[in-house]
Structure 1
Amino acid sequence: MNDLLDRLRGLLLDTGYTIDGVRERLGDVAATALSREETVPALRATAGDDPLGTLIRLWWLGAAVDERKAPRGLPVEELAAAGLVGVEGGRITSTVHLQPWETGGYVVSDRKVRPGDPALRTDHVVGAGGASANLAQLVSRRPAGRVLDLGTGCGVQVLHLDGRAEEIVATDVNPRALELARLSWALSGIRGVDARRGSLFDPVPGERFDLIVSNPPFVISPAGRFAYRESGFRADDFCRDLVRLAPRHLAPGGTCQLLANWLHVGGEDWQDRVGGWLAETGCDGWAVQRDVQDPAEYVELWLRDAAEQGTPRYRELYEDWLGWFESENVTGIGFGWITLNDSGSLDPVVRVEEYGQRVELPVGGYVDEILGSITGAHRLTDAELLGARLALADGVLEERIGSPGAEDPERIVLRQTRGLRRSAQVGTVEAALAGVCDGLYPLDPLLAAIAELTGEDPGDLREKAPEGLRPLIAEGFFHISTG
């Protein structure tokens, strides 16, 4: 099988069946229509006998192609014997969805389900999409020894982890997912992944990892109908248990990064709910809510995802799901990132926040700095902070907002142009420090100089400064210089 997949990969690359090749061949109109699951423009764009157009119709669009027009060298009989295509009446049909991925590899999954297609099989393996890319952008870029991809699905995270990890273990509760993930890895030239079947951490008892990543079946529903999106656990218990159990499998200094859904329940603060999960771990933790949907939006999204919109059961499924949310007093469903780090500290720090703005990608390129800023701001005593040498982070700009001609601004805002691109309204002292903090001098004498210039009492500035600076350090506007 590996030999067959190696030859197939060579053909795909030679034909230009890559991310860039497919985008160029389809054009903007057809590609945008495909994002809405409309295939007609793409079918028109790939009409003809050229090899690349034929492969796109076969592997991406799921259309039957004439066997006589198959690209030269396509091992049709071997692919049919392997169950990857079907051949009947001189027409070739794909039995899987094969998509080029941004890493340069390929991802194999079940065929895309579009409106009008037959119902999903319960063990359906979804392809790589927005959530997969989201997690890949979040994961730390640090090299790692042992890595666990929990809930590997079609195996896409392994494509990103290959080359950064010495050893990769990938798990999934769905045997079909593991079957297709192995095809993804082989077709991408990746060898040696240890694939195991089981739920949560059952396949890795007693084992520890330097990095754990997971795009889990986080969808919250009254019944687990599809393995790729639902765990069968009650409400958001699967994500809660994943967070709670992860530290038992982290090596010292190890990190766990995952995507999750959580409930917003009437009379309860969602930040307390998610913060409670993290607080029980004993790890430093950072949870970010990137989006929140009302129950109706959420139900519609996932019924549409399974191509059930417009089917005879649509209204029944919608009413059952919505009724269950009402019985649980659910007012919304949050989606976001969770990162845990086993720092070994006896004073773990947890930050839970809502942040929906655009950020610099990949977040994994600076996520370790984010955690360092959050924990450092919390753990420094006031005396240590006053003795620290602060440096303004790269890319921070100052905005002064006020009426034209006014002597003093109404507001002073620090704005990041890098990283999470946060903004923060600050006072005159913090703004003055932003202009002079370059990592060379301790904070204490800088405050004394500012007090002399402004006429303020230096003792008052020293007392108030830590309270104003901690959130700015935690949010990455200032760094503590160690050089």
Structure 2
Amino acid sequence: MKAPSDLLRRLRARFDETGYTIDGVRERLGDVAAGALAREELVPALRATKDLDPLAALIRLWWLGVPVSTAAADLPLSELVQCGLLVKVGDAVQASVHLQPWETGGYVVSDRKVRPGDPAVRRDHVVGAGGASANLAQLVTRQPVERALDLGTGCGVQVLHLADRAGHIVATDVNRRALDLAQLSWGLSGIEGVDVRRGSMFDPVEDERFDLIVSNPPFVISPHARLTYREAGYQADDFCRELVRLAPTHLNPGGHCQLLANWLHVKGEDWQDRLGGWLAETGCDGWAVQRDAQDPAEYVELWLKDAAEQGTPAYRERYDEWLAWFEAQNVTGIGFGWITLHASGTLDPVVRVEELSQQVELPVGAYLADILDSITTAHRLTDDDLLATALHLSKGVLEERIGLPGAEDPTHIILRQTRGLRRTTTVGTVEAALAGVCDGQLPLAPLLAAIGDILGEQHLSPTPLRPLIAEGYFHT
């Protein structure tokens, strides 16, 4: 499915003229219908657009996917039908793709989301931009780069985010249809010069290196590779592990690889050790975050519903087969989250694996460098170096004291971040005292000595400060 660049420019101009943008659609629908549409409920949006004014006609046609009369669709219909973006339905037209405005100011073209009662999903289905795409875009570093790789570009949404900070972008996918629709996304968004290549994993860029690699890969863990957009056909979670293993060979010095992944929780094994093992094999500094974890039944239900298989004759059979497959591998859960690799060139790489379930400040990519610096600094400073360092309490850190009313001392002292990753941690008296005096003026050694004198303790160790530095409560 291809369209001439001139047609895409004219279509984009019509969108701009009519207000078919994120803000325009939200304003036209109203809060109730826009909120329902975010939950994939169409009825309120259909009611809100029944008058078929020019913007309503575009919303119905391209976002809601319902037929619109040729009289109401003020577009170059014959050209759009000829290139396959529209099909004739009696005296109306209907979009063959989902075309929605995106937060970058561009547009995303994909297959329409399947819903209960729709035909079965085609194997080469191209999923649209959703929560996972947005999560990855928020995670990726904001630093300008010369060469970037979008591995498994799908509908091309990551390129929309990279276009203003990457000199050259290579986008790959194993799915020919995905590359076709991605090029429509970029054409409508005014993005030119993307180097498009078809192939699996790193095959299309075998001998090349990049400053930034991003990937929202087909990470779903299942017994069969039925749908190209979500399953790669590897055993268990080996696909994501292999992606992590191979990425460093394609990174320039100082480069980053950032991707989304799923990993297994296996009976008798710590999932953090499993994931940490993946990162330790790379020779890069690594940071992995579990944002969510589901039990096997929840996971199977999620992905069967994603393909609109709930309620079909095959639903129970596939559900049972998938659960049996997990059971045979002693799987107790499946984790989802972020993985970041940094080719720092150090001979002493640092790996941190953690779980963050709270809301974080977005975009994470805006302060990613600070996160990685905190992790490596806490690991690499010797005790003598740390004692000679003047620490600062990071901005937005608050102290909370919890105790019984009238008690002289609190039961718990908590440090809480109101910025960044918004972690909370319980600390002791020494760490709490340091939080009150670390302003970058004095090295840690005399501060610890003064606190020790007050508490009647000598030679306080700086070791308890390391995790607080690694987690961003203090910085050098």
If the length of structure 1 is used for normalisation, what is the TM-score? 0.97
Amino acid at match of 1:278: L
C-alpha displacement at 1:453, in angstroms?
Answer: 3.1
Amino acid at match of 2:226: R
The answer for the alignment partner of 2:451 in structure 1 is: 450
C-alpha displacement at 1:394, in angstroms?
Answer: 0.4
The answer for the alignment partner of 1:124 in structure 2 is: 125
CA offset digits 1:49-97 (Å, max 9, x no partner): 20111111100011001001113xx111111111100124211010100
Question: Within 2, Cα distance between the matches of 1:123 and 1:445?
Answer: 64
The DSSP-based 3-state class of the residue aligned with 1:224 is coil
The answer for the alignment partner of 2:251 in structure 1 is: 250
Is 399-408 or 417-426 further displaced after alignment? 399-408
Alignment of 1:137 with 2:138, yes or no, is: yes
Alignment of 1:348 with 2:349, yes or no, is: yes
Q: Which runs of 4+ in 1 moved over 4 A?
A: none
The answer for the alignment partner of 1:100 in structure 2 is: 101
Q: 2:69 aligns with which of 66, 70, 80?
A: 66
The answer for the alignment partner of 1:329 in structure 2 is: 330
The DSSP-based 3-state class of the residue aligned with 2:62 is helix
Taking only the aligned residue pairs, the percentage that are identical comes to 74
The answer for the alignment partner of 2:9 in structure 1 is: 6
C-alpha displacement at 1:455, in angstroms?
Answer: 3.0
Question: Within 1, Cα distance between the matches of 2:89 and 2:277?
Answer: 57
Question: Within 2, Cα distance between the matches of 1:416 and 1:200?
Answer: 38
The answer for the alignment partner of 1:76 in structure 2 is: 77
The answer for the alignment partner of 2:57 in structure 1 is: 54
The DSSP-based 3-state class of the residue aligned with 1:137 is helix
Q: How many matched pairs?
A: 473
Amino acid at match of 1:35: A
Is 81-90 or 337-346 further displaced after alignment? 81-90
CA offset digits 1:392-423 (Å, max 9, x no partner): 00000111111222221111111100000011
The answer for the alignment partner of 1:477 in structure 2 is: 473
C-alpha displacement at 1:355, in angstroms?
Answer: 1.3
Question: Within 2, Cα distance between the matches of 1:181 and 1:196?
Answer: 12
Question: Within 1, Cα distance between the matches of 2:361 and 2:244?
Answer: 26
- Alignment of structure 1 residues 281-430 onto 2, 5 Å: 281-430=282-431
Question: Within 1, Cα distance between the matches of 2:425 and 2:323?
Answer: 39
Alignment of 1:109 with 2:105, yes or no, is: no
Alignment of 1:38 with 2:41, yes or no, is: yes
Question: Within 2, Cα distance between the matches of 1:19 and 1:36?
Answer: 16
CA offset digits 1:282-323 (Å, max 9, x no partner): 000011111000111111100100011111111111111111
- Alignment of structure 1 residues 106-255 onto 2, 5 Å: 106-255=107-256
8 Å Cα contact 2:106-2:188 kept in structure 1: yes
The DSSP-based 3-state class of the residue aligned with 2:30 is helix
CA offset digits 1:164-223 (Å, max 9, x no partner): 001100000000000000000010000000010011100001100000000000000100
Give the unaligned 5+ runs of structure 2. none
C-alpha displacement at 1:35, in angstroms?
Answer: 3.4
Question: Within 1, Cα distance between the matches of 2:457 and 2:112?
Answer: 69
If the length of structure 2 is used for normalisation, what is the TM-score? 0.98
The answer for the alignment partner of 2:281 in structure 1 is: 280
Give the unaligned 5+ runs of structure 1. none
